[in-house]
Each structure stands twice: as C-alpha cells, then as structure tokens.
Structure 1
C-alpha cells in the first residue's frame, strides 16, 4: 500500500539558474510570464489499497474528493468480486465503468454494465458487484457522503490480507464484529433486521475487548 504519494512542481524566475555547465553556456530563454508570476502547483495525492481476496485494487484520489464526498477508482481483476452483498445505510454510491464489463445486483435487479455506463445505488439498498469480463475492469466510484468510507476500505483490505496470509476461508468472528461496530454508519449486513444484528455485533465486540482479542484488529486499523 502506498499512501500520500505527492508530486509538487513549482517554477519561479530563479529557475533560470543553470543546473550544469552546458546549460549555463546556453543563451537564456525569454519568459513571457510576469516577473512575479508563479506557475500552478501540480499536486497528486493518492492512496492505493489492494485486497488479495476480492481481487480489488482501490485508488483513492484525495485531490478530487469534494467536501463530504469520496472519489475512488476501482480496478477489479478477472473473476474478482466484492466479498459479499451489503448496504450503506446513509450513503449513495455511483459506479461509472471506464473499462471492461461489470455485473451488479442492485436490490433484486441484475445489471450488466459496459464502458460508459453509470449504476447508482441509493442509500440503504443491498447491492453487490463483480467483474463480468475476461479483462480487468476499471470503475470510477463516488460515495456521498464520505463518512469513514476510506478507513473502511483500508481496514477491510488489511483484514483480507491477514486472512489470506493465514490461509483462512473466512474472517475471524471477533474481528468481523469489531469491524461492523466501527463502521455501523457505513455498512450493514443485507436482509437481516438491523437492531438484532447490531446487538449481537456490539456484544461480541465488547467480549473481544474484555478478552484482549481486539489488539490484532486494532493494529489493522489505519492510524
């Protein structure tokens, strides 16, 4: 994972100072800019998250995420899919396919989407998605409002990497309970009644803390 990779370029009139003898001997170029004008700063902030179980590579573009909204790019390997159906209680997700073909299920409606197609998932709607083609699929996703979605994506991928390294088919129950409690606003289980599920998850999360079993999960959480 690479976090906060920043590229800054800044030019001023002082940049005419030569960097080598050959450059020094070259006649100076005339600048059409005002003597006190600076070129724009180009800033690129990205956060790359890899999930070895789902086949997802997520690139969060910090510089295009507007106030209250998270913009991220999803690259899904052939055969890749979101681990399970889920819903976001208070967030709308918008998927725009850039390359490849995707298969969505939004509620009970199946959708196959090619390049240029946008699929909108309203808040509280159960949905899932998968790569429907032989090549990697590239999708632009916006989550509105963002809430803690970036932390959710990073934590889910860290749990998947730990699960993959241990060779387990399923995540640890207590880790899953802690995850569901930490991100109650961002995700919920599909089809099941919210209140009983939340009660069970909170009880298991308290048990994990009482037994000291939450330390491994907390290490997976982003700072």
Structure 2
C-alpha cells in the first residue's frame, strides 16, 4: 500500500518520487506522483506495463520520450498517455531538473505491485546493487522479472530470451540467497503534503523527512 507523502529516491537514475495520491487515498486503481528527474537522469530501461495505463504531464523542464518506437521531447504542459502494452522510455532532455506528474491506472493489486517493485529496485540502487543505469545484475533481474511479470516487462533482452534465461537463473538466484522482494525496501522518506483535489491529503514538498 502507498500513501500520499511517501518518497522513493533513486540516486543512480536521478529519480525522486513523491506520492500525491496513493492506494490509501484512492482505494486502489489510481496512483498519482510527482516525479523529479536530475539532468542526465533516466528510467532504468525501456519497458511495458501489460495492464497499467501511465500518463505523464510535464510541469517543468524538458523530458525526452520514446513511445512505441517514436521519440519526442516534451516541455511544460505537454501530456502523454501510454496505454497498457505499449513500450516506452523517458529521460531528462535538458540541463535543469525536470518535474513530471505521473498517473497510473489499473487494478489495485497491480498498482500495489508496481510500488513494491519500485521500492525494491530503488532500494537496490541506494545500496549499490545496480549498475550505472540502475539495473540489477542478471540474478536479481531474473527474480524481479518473474515476480513482477504482470506489472512491468523490460524490452531487452527480447521476451523469448528472457523467459528461457530468467527461467534458468531464478532458481540459482534463490539458492544463492537472492530475493525478489526485501521487506526493508520501502519508501526512502516522507514529506508533509497538501491535499490533492478530491483525494484528501496530497501535493508535495521537495524535502524528505526520514526521522
């Protein structure tokens, strides 16, 4: 479950997320967050959400998007809708921090799964367990891919190869003590937030309160 004010930070990819509407406020099926991306920052890889719609609204800065193979740079006020099953990738295309409002729509279990996946991927990055692009090693990736297959699927390696490769590596990863989900990987902080229209508590401040 997520709540307004939860912070998820990834120092490797340059992403800083503040939840504005979480499952606690919406009852599931909708999540809204402020996404701040440092210059040079980008999502960990091109991917697909099989059953989640993702909507991006650029508030500040320049954000590059590749959606279904087509690239464009969006500025403030631009809104992009990515339907379920469509491959997409984004990055900060400017020299200043970019600010994007991200909306996710789907079944409650899928949105909760998305938050759990994000928490674990970002937690690994904070502990130095990813590469310079925020991607875990193949053993960790195999477990994440199988655990969250209904939430997110990365485009590379190709889907057919992923099934074979990760199917072989996942049991090895478990034997070596790796896990897909670590209970200690939750939000990296919390901020007091103002109400988001229609959902009680939300909005965002930029400074986390971790104590």
Contact 2:140 2:179 (C-alpha < 8 Å) held by counterparts:
no
Is 1:57 equivalent to 2:57 in the alignment? no
Match of 1:84 in 2: 45
Displacement of 1:219 in angstroms is 5.4
Select the residue among 104, 107, 126 that pairs with 1:143.
104
Contact 2:54 2:83 (C-alpha < 8 Å) held by counterparts:
yes
Measured at CA, do residues 75 and 130 of structure 1 come closer, stay the same or move farther in structure 2, by a change above 3 Å?
same
Contact 2:143 2:180 (C-alpha < 8 Å) held by counterparts:
no
d(CA) in 1 for partners of 2:156, 2:7: 31
Aligned residues: CA RMSD: 2.6
Select the residue among 158, 173, 177 that pairs with 2:138.
173
Structure 1: gaps (5+ residues) = 5-44
Give the alignment's TM-score, normalised by structure 1.
Answer: 0.70
Measured at CA, do residues 96 and 78 of structure 1 come closer, stay the same or move farther in structure 2, by a change above 3 Å?
same
Q: Secondary structure at the match of 1:125?
A: coil
Give the alignment's TM-score, normalised by structure 2.
Answer: 0.74
Displacement of 1:205 in angstroms is 1.6
Match of 1:109 in 2: 70
Select the residue among 121, 127, 136 that pairs with 1:156.
121
Contact 1:87 1:190 (C-alpha < 8 Å) held by counterparts:
yes
Q: Secondary structure at the match of 1:214?
A: coil
Aligned residues: 178
Select the residue among 166, 177, 198 that pairs with 1:213.
177
Displacement of 1:202 in angstroms is 3.3
1:91-145 CA-partner distances (Å, limit 9, x unpaired): 1110000111111000111121111110111111111101111111110001111
Contact 1:64 1:71 (C-alpha < 8 Å) held by counterparts:
no
Q: Which segments of structure 1 move beyond 6 Å, counting only runs of 4 or more? A: none
Displacement of 1:191 in angstroms is 6.2
Match of 1:126 in 2: 87
Contact 1:175 1:217 (C-alpha < 8 Å) held by counterparts:
no
Measured at CA, do residues 215 and 95 of structure 1 come closer, stay the same or move farther in structure 2, by a change above 3 Å?
closer
Contact 2:147 2:180 (C-alpha < 8 Å) held by counterparts:
no
d(CA) in 2 for partners of 1:46, 1:202: 37
Q: Secondary structure at the match of 2:124?
A: helix
